[in-house]
Chain A
Amino acid sequence: MAKVSPLTFGAALAIALLVSITIAVTIGPADIRFDEVWRSIGSHLGIGVSPLTELRDGIVWQLRLPRVLTAAAVGAGLALSGAVMQAITRNPLADPYLLGLSSGAALGAVSVILLGAAVLLPFAAFVGALLALTLTLLLAGSLGAITPSRTVLAGIAVSALASAITSFVIFWSVTGDSYREVLSWLLGSLSGARWPAVGITMVAIIVIGIPVMLTGRLLDSFAFGDVQAASLGVNVSATRWGLLAASALVTGAMVSVSGSIGFVGLILPHAVRLLVGPGHRALLPLSALLGAVFLVWADTLARTLFDPREIPVGIVTAMIGAPIFAFLLTRRKSST
């Protein structure tokens, strides 16, 4: 099958991302033009003067831009983590939340919302995600040598437990306003994303995500399993656990600001594979770029589709993701 050149696709995605971010910032109740967006951003970076009134400039700089940038970073992080998880577990259905991460984060988040300490939400979600991951690995380890399949099974068990506790807590004590808050977080939402969220997610992408993107050759060597990777001089267990930990940290950072947004990490790596092929040197950065573009638009839909009401972006990604997933399944069937 003719594939798209990774460089061409990458350049197209990079341009699409810049354009998408700018357009997404213009979209919303207050009418703001394309050029006004750039000049406003420029003024905050010390270049020129913002053409907008203080109120409208605030909408760009305080509300829409941080939200759109967070969407881009979260989309990139989830798609990258998904691609890595799929490679190291050799499981095409692996997603970033595989090892109990989202359920642990949800439990942490719901707990602090109910305790009235919602300011701690990102922190609690992150801690919850990492606790769940630790529990998953401990459980997998207690079953014998830690293998990908045991780890996935342990993750399912931990997820089920954390979800049950979360449901219990919600059922027992959630009322009125906090119910909405909890539900919107559980379904994945970027409505609260401001500059601190941009900071958390961008740091995760730059400090962990970019080094992970450079491991493509190593992930390629896993195509035929651990023994072949080892025969090619790869330190199999260090690579596997290092990348697993890195993806978990990225996912933890993303889930801490956005709640668990499904399908991005599962679907987008498959879409990129269809277009440029399975080599991870191209797959990892391109998945991240496509994830960023995808979530910017999904979130724009989430906040405008039923204007003035906003829906959780997780609903939008599921609405788009589930049919694509079904399509990929039928395609997979016909190709094997």
Chain B
Amino acid sequence: MSHDSNSGLVGERITITADGSLLIDNVDCTVAQGSLSALVGPNGAGKSTLLRALTAVQAPASGSVHFDGNNLLGMPRRQRARLAAFVEQDSTTDSSLSVDMVVQLGRLPHQSLWEADSAESTAIVSASLATVEMTAFRDREFQSLSGGEKQRVMLARALAQQPQLLALDEPTNHLDIAAQLAVLELLAHLRTTGVTILAALHDLSLAASYCDHIIVLSHGRVVAAGATETVLTEALIAEVYGVRASILTNPVTGKPVIGFSPA
């Protein structure tokens, strides 16, 4: 993997506060270009907050974020939204938007306010739906979908932005196991198209199976980062999560699976 300082996502000295409390404490982190990386850590570690800062959705109190040399915090919002997409945890709406309209939202940074949807835009929306295998659902109401289907639609919305960087906050949250694997398989597929992906994940086994890099966050600080097999050790899990972990090998995939027991 190429690792010159200008490529990929580079966050430096990121500090985020809210209502006087320190959420992210002077964090440096990098995500290699074209990698599929996981951001892990216990609840309250600051994963969502850091993800929002790394995609410049919410500006940090201080620090810098660059992607492939572009200053994400300094560039115009629309331009940034064409470069970096962010998928929230549990996207919900009261609106009766159709799947098609939800994915269209991703075209917003590419369109002026009152132009008709161009043929190109419509084609990109269709292609995004096809990528997540939701074409058959395009006229359905978003709210009527299952959790896994919703997550795939939100992923298509992000793809319609045609981003080079994709950040996802707990994309497998509340999904059944098949849907969780489907989302991760999709991310692995997208990664092969050159998109740099960073996903906050709760499930360490999923992270270990699909991600080549892992950033471990605890109490607003990065406590470990690097290649999955070097970072994800039984000792580290014990330290960060306060549980006893046993790293085993999945007999089918040959990838690590992690068993837990009380400390």
Interface residues of A (CB under 8 A from B): 90, 92, 214-218, 220-221, 223-225, 227-228, 230-235, 273, 277-279, 281
Contacts and interface: CB of A to CB of B under 8 A. Distances in A.
B94 A233 contact: no
A231 B81 contact: yes
B263 to A, nearest CB: 35
A206 to B, nearest CB: 16
Given A225-B93, A228-B88, 17 more contacts: A214-B113, A217-B114, A218-B113, A220-B101, A221-B108, A224-B105, A225-B88, A225-B92, A227-B52, A227-B58, A231-B57, A232-B81, A232-B105, A232-B106, A233-B80, A235-B77, A281-B114
A87 to B, nearest CB: 9
Contact of A278 (B82, B85, B97): B97
- Which of A216, A230, A235, A273 counts the most chain B CB atoms within 10 A? A230
Contact of A224 (B81, B91, B111): B91
B97 to A, nearest CB: 6
B78 interface: yes
A214 B106 contact: no
Given A220-B101, A228-B88, A278-B97, A234 B77 contact: yes
A235 B94 CA distance: 21
A232 B161 contact: yes
- Which of B78, B88, B108 counts the most chain A CB atoms within 10 A? B108
B93 A217 contact: no
Contact of A223 (B78, B97, B111): B97
Interface string B43-68: 00000000010010110000000000
A246 to B, nearest CB: 14
Contact of B96 (A232, A234, A273): A273
B94 A92 contact: yes
Interface in B72-103: 76-82, 85-86, 88, 91-98, 101-102
Interface of B: 52, 55, 57-58, 76-82, 85-86, 88, 91-98, 101-102, 105-106, 108-109, 111, 113-114, 161
A235 B79 CA distance: 12
8 contacts: A224-B105, A228-B105, A231-B81, A232-B105, A232-B161, A233-B78, A278-B96, A279-B97
Given A227-B57, A227-B88, A232 B109 contact: yes
A289 to B, nearest CB: 17
A336 to B, nearest CB: 8
A233 B96 contact: no
Given A217-B108, A223-B95, A277-B96, A231 B85 contact: yes
Contacts of A234: 77, 108
A140 to B, nearest CB: 17
A227 B81 CA distance: 12
Contacts of B76: 233
B105 A220 contact: yes
Contacts of A90: 94
A224 B88 contact: yes
A225 B93 CA distance: 8
Contacts of A232: 81, 105-106, 108-109, 161
- Which of A216, A273, A277 counts the most chain B CB atoms within 10 A? A277
Contacts of A215: 113
A230 B88 contact: no
B55 A231 contact: yes
User: Nearest 3 A-B pairs (CB), nearest first?
Assistant: A233-B81, A233-B78, A231-B86
B58 to A, nearest CB: 7
A223 B58 contact: no
B105 A223 contact: yes
A235 B59 CA distance: 12
A235 B102 CA distance: 19
Nearest to B112: A217
A277 B95 CA distance: 9
